[in-house]
Amino acid sequence: MIIFDLEWNRGYDKTPLEEILQIGAVRVDAIGGKIVDTFCIFVHPCVHRRLNRTAKTLPELQSAFDSPHDFPTALETFRNWCGGDTVFADWGGDDFEVLRQNCAFWLISPPEATQLIDLQAAFSLRVGTNQGVALYRAAEYCGIPDVFTFHNALNDAVYTALVSEWINADALALLALPKEIRRLNNCPTFTPPPAKESGPYGSVQAALNGRGCRRAACPICGESAWVRRWYTAAPDDYFADFRCKDHGNFLCRLHLLHTEDGPLTGQQTIPPVTPALLQEFEKAIRNGAVTCKSGSKHSRHWKKRRHSTPKKAETR
Ligand SMILES: [Zn+2]
């Protein structure tokens, strides 16, 4: 496995290229395993005429200007060093994209990658935060001494490899799941509120679009949030996730009840997140999403109606 890092310059001109200035990498036998080899090459910049603010502060900037290698030569050297390794990992998930972008600019093919692992996302899952942790903070958190300067691609690859020792199998398994599921991993415990009924609705789509079904409330503080899309678990059974800015993500379940004469009633619950429920939600996500209508015509209609007859039952 290759853990790699790039330093680049965005420039200020119209060429949309994150011009790579350094490629740094380490080869490890596994995530959290031993570093068995290292790689570093500086790339002489020749696309942008000016440096952006971040590039200006790179500690090894002069080494890029002193480098005899252009990007195609540097990439070939990197490709040869990678050999048959096709699993790549980085901190943040941007690096491989930038590598691809530079390859596209120079009309060369990127190194073959069979798997890309975002170790920052895995680390966040491991330590239980939904936010991206800066590499220096992660190193600090893990008690790794800061003996090497950050923002040197090789040093950052080394730090990433050392920090990844903290990433366990659970975090990696979570990383493979859809983001909706990952976000529910830190769902706080709460007393489930009573089921909320709304309607009547003339059709399934009307119920899924219905404000009564889509408006969810944080079970801890009551702050309301909107469901943007539903995932079908079974006919008349839908899941969604929503977020309270203070208490994180919650799961919302919608059950549609058919009445004898046709119209539907929506029954919304906010169930506590259990592994079994997450499995059901994951299956529903794989079935595909039903996006709630938010076309301009529709939202205008809603707005108008909200102002004129706010408590009118929904029949759409
Ligand atoms: Zn809340």
Whole-number Å distance, alpha carbon 150 to ligand 1 midpoint, is 37
User: What residues pack around ion ligand 1 (CB closer than 5 A)?
Assistant: 218, 220-221, 223, 244, 246-247
Indicate the SS3 state at residue 142.
coil
Last residue of a domain, one of 117, 150, 176: 176
Question: In degrees rounded to 5, what are phi and psi of residue 308?
Answer: -85, -50
Question: In degrees rounded to 5, what are phi and psi of residue 290?
Answer: -110, 110
pLDDT in tens, the chain (316 residues): 999 999 999 988 888 899 999 999 999 999 999 999 999 999 999 999 999 999 999 999 999 999 999 999 999 999 999 999 999 999 999 999 999 999 999 999 999 999 999 999 999 989 888 788 999 999 999 999 999 999 999 999 999 999 999 998 888 888 888 888 988 987 899 999 999 999 899 999 999 999 999 999 999 999 999 999 999 999 999 999 999 999 999 999 999 998 877 799 999 999 999 989 999 999 999 988 888 875 434 444 444 444 444 333 443 3
| 150 shares a domain with 62 | yes
Structural domain contains residue 313: no
Q: Count of domains in the chain? A: 2
| 95 shares a domain with 190 | no
| 285 shares a domain with 262 | yes
128 Ramachandran zone, left/alpha/beta (phi>0; psi -120 to 50): left
| 124 shares a domain with 246 | no
Last residue of a domain, one of 176, 207, 238: 176
What pLDDT is recorded for position 13? 87
> CB neighbours (10 Å) of residue 312?
9
Domain of residue 250: give its range: 186-308
Whole-number Å distance, alpha carbon 239 to ligand 1 midpoint, is 19
What pLDDT is recorded for position 131? 82
CA-nearest of 174, 271, 169 to 219 is 271
Q: Encoding tokens for residue 88?
A: 């790549």
What pLDDT is recorded for position 311? 38
| 160 shares a domain with 33 | yes
Structural domain contains residue 316: no
- Run of H or E including 99: helix 95-105
pTM, two decimals, is 0.70
Q: Encoding tokens for residue 100?
A: 């691809």
Whole-number Å distance, alpha carbon 138 to ligand 1 midpoint, is 28
Structural domain contains residue 134: yes
Whole-number Å distance, alpha carbon 250 to ligand 1 midpoint, is 10
| 60 shares a domain with 92 | yes
What is the DSSP code (8-state) at residue 131?
Answer: S
| 83 shares a domain with 10 | yes
What pLDDT is recorded for position 294? 54
Last residue of a domain, one of 176, 198, 229: 176
Kindly give the pairing relationship between strand 237-244 and strand 87-90: unpaired
Whole-number Å distance, alpha carbon 178 to ligand 1 midpoint, is 23
What is the length of the chain?
316
| 200 shares a domain with 162 | no
* CA pair distance 280, 200, nearest whole angstrom: 27
The residues pairing with 252 across neighbouring beta strands, listed in sequence order, are: 240
| CA geometry: angle 223, 224, 225, nearest 5 deg | 125
CATH number at residue 29: 3.30.420.10
| 229 shares a domain with 145 | no
* CA pair distance 61, 55, nearest whole angstrom: 7
| 236 shares a domain with 292 | yes
Residue with tokens 């390859």: 103
| 279 shares a domain with 135 | no
Rg of the chain over all Cα atoms, to the nearest angstrom:
25
